Structure 1
Amino acid sequence: MITLRLSLALLLGFGAALPAGAETPPTLKAGVTVASDIVRLGDLVDNAGEFSEVAVFRSPDMGHTGQVPAWRIVEAARRMGMARIETGGRTDVAVTRAARVIPLADMEERIATAIAGSLGIADSSRIAVTFDRGVRPIAVEPTVRGTLSVSRVDHDQRSGRFDAMLVVAGAAQSDRGGFRVTGQAAELVDYVVPARSLSRGEVIKASDLTVERRPRHELAGVPADAISSLAQAVGQAARRPLVAERALRISDLMKPEIVERNGNVLIHYEGNGLSLTVRGKALEAGAEGDTVQVQNLTSRKTLQATVTGPGRVTVVQRAAVTTLSAAGIGSPASTNLQ
């Protein structure tokens, strides 16, 4: 709290014990809000009568409250000629200077928008603004309704330091240059981390992930290929066991395996005008589009096949080769599908 200083402009004089016409004695108030930069006796004392407009103290800064000791008020009144004031047992009076107070959050938003624009960033929420210690909310005259804006901002991208001037249209301080604020501004970067440990091959759901946001200069330990959005990971599978709260990388993911190792599969043969399906066993696990080894359970022959769906693989036979001989045209080479 700010202790109000006794005004150097105290008016000295003598008067009656009670103001003329007063029905009740002057009584100290518990608290008061003033709009002026001067506190008058009538602001502090009920029934001050002819002494009401006498200036006695300077007001606190706009938007602040100061405590005036009761004995100082009594002493000042006595010197003005008001011989007696009922204090009601109060030891001090709280004096608040009326103001329109602009919160730090609004100031941060304006600074962030200005710096985002200078960096070519469309979303100002990606700029984190931290004011230096001692920066306080802006307080202007209570009648001022002008908007808050940034008249100047200097920002060092390397260090993140900024120096800015804020103005409020119609405020007296704005006419004198504005309100200077300093601090740190950093671009925030998103990256995705598992919310829990994930096993190899486990298909990832949105609930398994969390998006972290940190200033770019704090990302020394985050890999360059870290995933920045949930869409990049949801529906993919873990290529290896993943630890919770560690940045998720593109190389940590793979397509979900839809064919299990040693699992039953349907082998679909295509080629040479033929198409048939037989039962088989996958000798390797694989995702859609992967090439895996499978075994035809009828012939026990091992084949290379492409995973085309859950529990399904396809073997595409090459076209038959026609051989030419001196005797004439040979027969097409046969293909063993079994």
Structure 2
Amino acid sequence: MKRFAFALTVAAGFAVSLAAAPALAGTAVLRNNVVVDGDILKLGDLFDNVGSKADTAIARSPAPGRRAILDAEWLQRVAVTNRIDWQPQNAFEQSVVERSGVTISHDQIEMEILAALADQGVPADAQIELANRTATLVVPVGANAQIGVRDVLYDQRYKRFTVTVEAPVNSPSATRIRLAGRVFQTTEVPVLSHPVNRGDVITKQDITWNRVREDNVRRDVITDASQMIGYTPRQMLRPGQMVSTADIQKPLAVLRGALVTMVLKSGTMSLSTQGHAVEQGSVGDVIRVTNSHSNLTVEGRIEGTNLVSVSMNGATALAN
């Protein structure tokens, strides 16, 4: 916090007739914490019991959203100059003056900059990132809060820009800041609209779309919704998060240890028997199964829920 020791000078141009003014009968009372709206700090903002002198202008207020600390020496000088009955109780007495204002958020600033960059060929669905990620503007209470963007410089090759942002726009007293940043292209990716648990099958109704920066999309992130539909999460997936190919799998049709039907088809011949799955898998996967009667283990392809087809090489296992 910036300490003002005589830094706020008595505002020039505010003529006050003091020569013959008598001191007030009552003792003035200092306000230790003051919030003001206007440009000018008045005697009545700092002191109670100053009578008709309350509207006397003594200094300029801090900038909107800022504060100033007025120390005992400065306050005593103001009291003497304006002939009010006040003395600091000690050398550490002070008054903190804060100027209220309307804050223009970081997001609002980015939105206006992106709009201004449209003239440079930047698409409306791009995203920008400011080097100063905490940049805000504060305008006086009651002032026009519209932002102006000017002095735009954009490097198409490196996607970098610098601009001047001001608020209130076109105001002689506008606050201006110079900002730099980068432009990022975006793309849409399919995401889940609600949590989906492991084992639940993802449907078209479970999917929505999020626009994200292209540089945040890993190679394994799914960008085609059809690659999610009919699959199930390996672990619970949160809504809105990008989904990778490693996050989902085909629904398990056979669980490890499950009782399965082993089928061999060859022309018009069909043989079947019962077995137990040594491995789990989805439709189309090749797993090992053990004949419950012979204890012979063969490989088979999963055709459906607890249904495994075996080749002629596994005929012996079915026959026993």
Q: Flag whether TM exceeds 0.5 (same fold).
A: yes
For 2:162, the equivalent position in structure 1 comes to 163
**Does the CA-based 8 Å contact 1:173-1:179 persist in structure 2?**
no
Partner of 1:194: none
Q: Match of 1:209?
A: none
Which of 176, 179, 198 aligns to 1:179? It is 176
Q: What is the TM-score of this pair, normalised by structure 2? A: 0.60
How has the CA–CA distance of structure 1 residues 289 and 121 changed in structure 2, closer, same or farther, with 3 Å as cutoff? farther
For residues 40 and 261 of structure 1, the distance between their equivalents in structure 2, rounded to whole angstroms, comes to 82
Match of 1:15 among 6, 17, 20: 20
Aligned residues of 2:50 and 2:84 also touching (Cα < 8 A):
no
User: Is the 1:260–1:285 contact (alpha carbons within 8 Å) kept by the matching residues of 2?
Assistant: yes
Contact 1:39–1:57 (8 Å) recurs in 2? yes
Structure whose alpha-carbon radius of gyration is higher: 1
Counting aligned pairs with the same residue, the percent is 22
Per the TM alignment, residue 65 of structure 1 is displaced from its structure 2 partner at its CA by 1.2
Take 2:278 and 2:46, find their aligned partners in 1: how far apart are those partners?
92
Deviation at 1:225, TM superposition (A): 3.0
Q: TM-score, normalised by structure 1?
A: 0.57
Change (3 A) 1:100 1:265: closer
Change in Cα spacing, 1:312 to 1:144, as seen in structure 2 (3 Å) is: same
Which runs of 5 or more structure 1 residues have no equivalent in the other structure? 192-202, 207-212, 239-246, 318-336
What amino acid is the match of 1:100? V
Q: Distance in 1 between matches of 2:11 and 2:50?
A: 21
CA drift of 1:252 comes to 8.7
Asked whether the 8 Å contact 1:112–1:129 carries over to 2, the reply is no
SS of the equivalent of 2:20 reads: coil
Query: 1:141 — aligned with what?
Result: 140
Q: Distance in 2 between matches of 1:204 and 1:150?
A: 51
Shift of 1:87: 4.4
RMSD over aligned CA atoms reads: 5.3
Unmatched 5+ stretches in structure 2: 190-197, 202-210, 236-241, 313-317
Deviations 1:116-165 (A, max 9, x none): 9965474x7xx4734428x6531212112544465676555765644234
Q: 2: CA distance between counterparts of 1:205 and 1:128?
A: 37
The answer to whether 1:6 aligns with 2:3 is: no
Residues 268, 275 of structure 1: 8 Å contact kept: no
Which amino acid in 1 is paired with 2:75? I
SS at match of 1:224: coil
The 3-state SS of whatever aligns with 2:232 is: coil
The count of corresponding residues between Structure 1 and Structure 2 is 281
1:279 aligns to 2:273 (yes or no): yes
Could you tell me which amino acid in structure 2 is paired with residue 179 of structure 1? R
Q: 1:99 aligns with which of 101, 104, 122?
A: 101
- Is residue 289 of structure 1 aligned with residue 294 of structure 2? no
Change beyond 3 A, Cα 1:11–1:236:
closer
